[in-house]
Structures are given as structure tokens and as C-alpha cells.
């Protein structure tokens, strides 16, 4: 089994990012497949505010085929509302700056636990997107346009009989 790591860094302060996986060498056998999972996720939100209400951020992957994920709304009628893949949830904390009496918000590393993974016959060569939503909604929202992040994908080539 061969193992690869691909990292995506949201260096510019935005709320949706587009990436393309770097080329991976050809599989050892045509019948093998790639198992993809998240091995690390962290973000930093550099907003300064006097408010103490901090909403955790949810990171999503959009545009990678064979990732079969759905999210249900717990409203009056539960329906499938989103087909994007959940990468992780980051809880926000505060950093009190006593000199300027302001509160800086930032997100901590997520506790991945047993990661969700999906299989790909080939690694995609087309762009995909990573975006986030606040925990208070399941739909895309540009709620914190100065959030930056890193997500690390673990890619394992698995042999098929």
C-alpha cells in the first residue's frame, strides 16, 4: 500500500476556496483504488470584536465525485438538504487582549476521531471547493470572510483482489 498526503491551505482570507489535487503517481495495479480521509483540520479567524458569542465553524468539501454524503435539516420536515462532504467542525475560543480590551476569535483544531473516508478509482484532476458554514446553519454563508485554514488529506492506495 502506498500512502500520500495532500494539504490545502486557505492562505487568502475568504470564505470559499478552490483547489486541485497534485498529481499522484499511477496506481501499482489498475484495479486498485484510493481511500481518502481527513487527517488534520485547523483554522484561524482573526476577527476582533467585543462580543463573547462564538459560533463553531463547519468545513465542507464540494465537487469530489464518489463522496456520498448527505446532511439532514432537523426542522419541521427532515429532508436531505446538502450533498457535500463534511470535513470537520472547529470550535471557536477567545483570546482576550487586555491592552486594547478587545476579544479576538479563533478556531481550534478539530477532534477528527474516526475520520469519514471515501474511495476514488482515480484522483480527480478537476478543481474542487472547500467552504465553511457556521454551526447555526447548514447552508453556505459568507459569515466570516477573514477565516484562514489548513486541511490535510490522507490518501492511501488500496489493493483490490
Write down the pLDDT at residue 104.
54
> What's the pTM?
0.77
Q: What is the mean pLDDT of residues 23-52?
A: 79
Residue range 124-156, pLDDT digits in tens: 899 999 888 777 666 665 555 567 788 999 999
- pLDDT per position as a tens digit, 78-123: 444 566 788 888 776 555 555 555 555 555 555 555 567 888 888 9
Residue in 62, 33, 24 with CA at minimum distance from that of residue 120 = 33
Is the pLDDT at 48 greater than 60, yes or no? Answer: no
In the chain, the domains with their CATH numbers are: 3-158 (2.60.120)
Torsion of CA 79, 83, 85, 90, to 10 degrees: -50
**Residue 79: which residues within 8 A CB-CB, separation 6 or more?**
72, 73
pLDDT value at residue 25: 82
Amino acid at each position: 500500500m502506498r500512502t500520500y498526503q495532500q494539504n490545502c491551505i486557505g492562505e487568502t482570507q475568504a470564505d470559499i476556496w478552490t483547489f486541485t489535487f497534485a498529481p499522484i503517481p499511477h496506481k501499482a495495479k489498475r484495479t486498485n483504488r484510493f481511500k481518502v480521509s481527513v487527517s488534520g483540520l485547523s483554522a484561524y479567524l482573526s476577527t476582533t470584536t467585543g462580543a463573547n458569542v462564538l459560533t463553531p465553524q463547519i468545513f465542507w468539501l464540494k465537487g469530489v465525485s464518489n463522496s456520498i454524503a448527505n446532511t439532514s435539516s432537523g426542522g419541521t420536515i427532515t429532508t436531505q438538504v446538502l450533498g457535500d462532504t463534511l470535513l470537520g467542525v472547529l470550535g471557536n475560543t477567545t483570546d482576550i487582549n487586555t491592552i486594547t480590551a478587545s476579544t479576538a476569535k479563533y478556531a481550534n483544531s478539530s477532534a477528527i476521531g474516526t475520520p469519514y473516508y471515501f474511495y476514488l478509482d482515480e484522483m480527480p484532476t478537476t478543481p474542487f471547493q472547500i467552504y465553511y458554514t457556521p454551526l447555526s446553519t447548514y447552508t453556505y454563508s459568507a459569515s466570516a470572510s477573514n477565516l484562514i485554514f489548513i486541511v490535510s488529506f490522507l490518501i492511501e492506495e488500496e489493493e483490490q483482489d
